[in-house]
């Protein structure tokens, strides 16, 4: 047995070998090279990861629990940044009107913003990609119908579409029910306002792919249509999807923040960055800038890092620029 | 006129039909919102009404008729300028919109003016001097500009110019002069002090977009053969850059700016909320807050019509500019 082992690699060895080649393949790839060569992008990626990490581990990393009513005291309200309250507690970014630590509120708020942004883009991606594939593959009236809907929707700005869906949901659900379902409605509204980009890009790329011989061969061999779409065409249209997804996350986060700022998004009970900025905006006139501007800067950094990554990815994945 | 050929008429007709189709879809969505969300009767008569009252309102509104008949009546009313009565203020929706329209239009136009005034020169500079220090800053700045949400730049301006410096008012619209039914804030200094911050806030996004587009178009044109040929002919730098390159790169830019005017109207919702500007966007946000459905659907139809008309104008301009459509 020992002898045969030395000749034929075990499953673990094969996986290990596969891993090294995978890492090697990544290290050798053009994308990795262009990544390492642009310091701005490395910084953006690190910033992005740090923000995501601190948002998702907020319950463990945040210095205080901003939703624990018992620890909030009005004595510690409206403290400027870098101040210490009477109990000797330190607040790096100050406190808001309820004595809530701004840094902790930002971390929890960013978590809500990211969840909504990522979920909305995931929804838009799945919906848009499947409709785009269907439109490209079947053509005919399905294609024209889907693309006309896309045209009409594209002539309206996403924020308006999301606002409208939100308003309709409010009328259907009623105000009290809306409160508890707000986050799902928001994901749906933002997702539905962004699917068009995915559908158009995937349709265009799939139309090119399916004229190629390997798809024709698969069709002649009698491979089922869903299998061709998912296993043959989809992997070849991944790069436009990836670029759009990255930029869409930035757009979705801004849309969520805007809706929350306008007061039609996330309720105050579970604030997102937009809600924090909206609430803090009321105190701006009396000079308490830190309540609204710190969440605002965090939002800008988050969006900017996704935008930079998306911009870079578009150039890196564009074969014409090589 | 002989130059305008059959192809162009066909093209414009096609566009017109598509525009009408879009408007039918938009009015249908608006009608569906009005018809199926909540009970219009309940919203009109209030809690204490008797069944007889309800029945009367129902008949008055024509709610006993088939849905399709109601839809065509709805469209007919809109064509006559009747958008119904607001649930919240109990006043005619069209009158409410007429009062607020000048505020939104002035804000959009001033902001559009700012973004063209700054955006085009910045874009030209970035294209002509791609390696200069200033161009790089413009480009990074434009990415930052896209990443700052409209409401946040508004808040920053308020903090800087109203709270810290105390130079400009932060809320509302003042210094108005009435020109018939149009109240303008553009003829007095006080009016400008109110409009300047909202207009700047609204223009940032457009400004970055225009800068990037002018740059991209111009870089594209500079690489073409006829520009190289113009240089080879010994034409001066000025003539080559401004007469040949700029003019040819501005055609797509102008059409996009036209289409972007619609986006300005949408973004004005946010700006109007930040600065408490009494325009249509603020009206729309309030209507969502209070589930004031007639106002919601009226705004939807207004924005839809605005977009369709802008699109048609852009198509018309294209048809006039594109020689392939002009000939034949």
CATH code for the domain in which residue B258 is found: 1.10.3720.10
For the stretch B36-69, pLDDT in tens is: 766 666 666 666 667 777 777 777 766 677 778 8
**CA A89 – CA B60 distance, rounded (Å):** 66
Exposed/middle/buried for residue B260 (C-beta within 10 Å: 0-12, 13-18, 19+)? buried
Assess if residue B131 is contained within a domain. Answer: yes
Interface of B with A in 250-269 (CB under 8 A): 262-263, 266-267, 269
A109 has a pLDDT exceeding 60? yes
Specify the number of domains making up chain B: 1
Structural domain of residue B245, as residue ranges? Answer: 93-327
Yes or no: say if A228 and A136 are a contact pair by the CB < 8 Å rule.
no
Q: Summarize pLDDT for B138-179 with one digit per residue, the tens.
A: 887 887 888 888 888 888 888 888 887 878 887 878 777 777
The confidence score (pLDDT) of residue B1 equals: 43
Chain B positions in Cβ-Cβ contact with residue A164 (cut-off 8 Å): 296, 300
Structure confidence at residue B268 as a pLDDT band (50, 70, 90): confident
Among A92-101, A207-216, A246-255, B125-134, top mean pLDDT goes to A246-255
Chain A residues closer than 8 Å to B255 by CB = none
Under DSSP, the state recorded for B258 is: H
What is the mean predicted confidence (pLDDT) over B198-226? Answer: 84
**Lowest-confidence range among A50-54, A235-239, B92-96, B242-246?**
B242-246
pLDDT at B291 over 70: yes
Torsion sign over Cα B189, B193, B194, B197: positive
Phi/psi at B180 (5° precision): 65, -125
Compute the mean pLDDT over every residue in chain B, rounded to the nearest whole number: 80
In a domain, B26, yes or no: no
Question: Does residue B38 belong to any structural domain of this protein?
Answer: no
In chain A, what are the domains? Answer: 46-61+99-321 (1.10.3720.10)
Confidence of residue A142 (pLDDT cuts 50, 70, 90): confident
What backbone torsions phi and psi does residue A95 show, to the nearest 5 degrees? -130, 160
Question: Is B176 part of a structural domain of the chain?
Answer: yes
CA separation for the pair B26, B301 (Å, rounded): 6
CA distances from B125 to A132, B69, B226, B254 (A): 39, 58, 21, 18
Residues in B touching A157 (Cβ below 8 Å): 262-263, 266-267
DSSP alpha helix (H) spans, A8-67: 11-28, 30-37, 39-56, 58-61
**Owner of token pair 């499947």:** A130
Q: Are residues B270 and A159, on separate chains, in Cβ contact within 8 Å?
A: yes
In a domain, B39, yes or no: no
Work out the pLDDT band at A19, boundaries 50, 70, 90: low
pLDDT tier for residue B2 given thresholds of 50, 70 and 90: very low
At A79, the pLDDT band (50, 70, 90 cuts) reads low
Angle between helices A238-261 and B150-157 in degrees, nearest 10: 40
Q: Has residue B255 got a pLDDT over 80? A: no
Q: Is the pLDDT of residue A178 over 80?
A: no
Is A9 in contact with A277 (CB distance < 8 Å)?
A: no
Distance CA B144, CA A179 (A): 33
Residue B144 contacts A, CB cutoff 8 Å: yes
Q: Is the pLDDT of residue A1 over 50?
A: no
Question: What is the reported pLDDT for B244?
Answer: 74
Q: Which residues of B touch A262 (CB under 8 A)?
A: 151, 269-270, 273, 285
Q: B58 CA to chain A: closest CA distance, Å?
A: 20
- pLDDT recorded at residue B103: 87
pLDDT given for residue A322 in this prediction: 47
Report yes or no on B57 lying in a domain.
no
Give CA B91 to chain center in angstroms: 25
- All residues of chain A having their beta carbon less than 8 Å from the beta carbon of residue B170 are 285
Q: What region, left, alpha or beta, does residue B175 occupy, with left being phi > 0 and alpha being psi -120 to 50 degrees?
A: left
Judge if ipTM > 0.95.
no
Is the pLDDT assigned to residue B8 strictly greater than 90?
no
In a domain, B15, yes or no: no
Nearest to B288 among A257, A264, A308 (CB): A264
Query: Residue A286: which pLDDT band, with cuts at 50, 70 and 90?
Result: confident
List the single residue in A155, A175, A292 with the smallest CB-CB distance to B307: A155
Q: Is residue B195 part of a domain?
A: yes
- Closest-CA distance, B80 to chain A, in angstroms, reads 25
């Amino acid at each position: 047995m020992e002898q045969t082992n030395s000749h034929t690699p075990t499953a673990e060895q094969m996986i290990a070998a596969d891993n090294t080649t995978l890492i090697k393949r990544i290290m050798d790839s053009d994308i990795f090279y262009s990544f390492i060569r642009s310091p701005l992008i490395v910084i953006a990626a690190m910033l992005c990861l740090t923000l995501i990490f601190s948002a998702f581990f907020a319950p463990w990393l945040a210095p205080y629990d901003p939703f624990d009513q018992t620890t909030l005291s009005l004595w510690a309200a409206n403290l400027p940044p870098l101040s210490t309250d009477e109990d000797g507690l330190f607040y790096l970014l100050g406190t808001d009107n309820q004595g809530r630590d701004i840094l902790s509120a930002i971390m929890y708020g960013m978590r809500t913003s990211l969840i909504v942004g990522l979920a909305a883009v995931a929804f838009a991606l799945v919906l848009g990609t499947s409709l785009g594939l269907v439109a490209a593959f079947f053509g005919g009236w399905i294609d024209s119908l889907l693309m006309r809907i896309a045209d009409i929707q594209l002539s309206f700005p996403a924020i308006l579409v999301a606002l409208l869906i939100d308003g309709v949901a409010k009328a259907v659900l009623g105000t009290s029910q809306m409160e508890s379902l707000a986050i799902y409605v928001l994901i749906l509204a933002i997702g539905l306002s962004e699917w068009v980009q995915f559908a158009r890009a995937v349709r265009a790329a799939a139309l090119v792919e399916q004229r190629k011989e390997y798809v024709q061969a698969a069709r002649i061999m009698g491979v089922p249509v869903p299998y061709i779409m998912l296993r043959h065409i989809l992997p070849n249209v991944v790069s436009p999807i990836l670029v759009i997804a990255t930029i869409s996350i930035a757009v979705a986060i801004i849309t969520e923040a805007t809706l929350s700022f306008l007061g039609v998004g996330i309720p105050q009970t579970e604030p997102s960055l937009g809600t924090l900025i909206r609430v803090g905006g009321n105190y701006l006139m009396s000079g308490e800038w830190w309540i609204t501007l710190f969440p605002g800067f965090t939002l800008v950094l988050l969006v900017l890092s996704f935008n930079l990554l998306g911009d870079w990815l578009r150039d890196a994945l564009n074969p014409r620029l090589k | 006129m002989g130059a305008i050929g059959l192809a162009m008429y066909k093209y414009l007709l096609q566009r017109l039909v598509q525009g009408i189709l879009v408007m039918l879809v938009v009015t249908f969505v608006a009608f569906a919102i009005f018809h199926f969300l909540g009970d219009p009767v309940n919203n009109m008569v209030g809690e204490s009404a008797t069944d007889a009252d309800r029945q009367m309102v129902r008949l008055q509104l024509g709610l006993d008729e088939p849905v399709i008949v109601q839809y065509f009546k709805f469209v007919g009313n809109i064509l006559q300028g009747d958008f119904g009565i607001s649930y919240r203020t109990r006043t005619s929706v069209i009158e409410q919109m007429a009062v607020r329209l000048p505020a939104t239009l002035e804000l959009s136009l001033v902001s559009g003016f700012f973004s063209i005034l700054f955006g085009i020169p910045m874009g030209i500079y970035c294209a002509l001097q791609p390696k200069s220090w200033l161009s790089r800053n413009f480009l990074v700045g434009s990415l930052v500009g896209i990443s700052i949400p409209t409401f946040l730049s508004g808040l920053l301006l308020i903090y800087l110019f109203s709270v810290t410096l105390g130079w400009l008012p932060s809320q509302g619209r003042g210094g108005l002069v009435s020109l018939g039914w149009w109240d303008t804030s553009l003829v007095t200094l006080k009016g400008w002090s109110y409009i300047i911050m909202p207009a700047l806030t609204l223009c940032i996004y457009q400004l970055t977009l225009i800068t990037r587009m002018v740059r991209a178009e111009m870089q594209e044109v500079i690489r073409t053969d006829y520009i190289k040929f113009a240089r080879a002919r010994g034409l001066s730098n000025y003539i080559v850059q401004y007469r040949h390159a700029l003019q040819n790169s501005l055609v797509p830019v102008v059409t996009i700016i036209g289409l972007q005017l619609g986006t300005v109207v949408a973004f004005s919702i946010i700006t109007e909320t930040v600065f408490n500007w009494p325009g249509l966007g603020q009206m729309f946000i309030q209507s969502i807050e209070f589930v004031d459905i007639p106002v919601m659907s009226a705004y939807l139809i207004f924005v839809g019509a605005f977009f369709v008309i802008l699109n048609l104008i852009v198509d018309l301009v294209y048809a006039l500019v594109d020689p392939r459509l002009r000939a034949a």
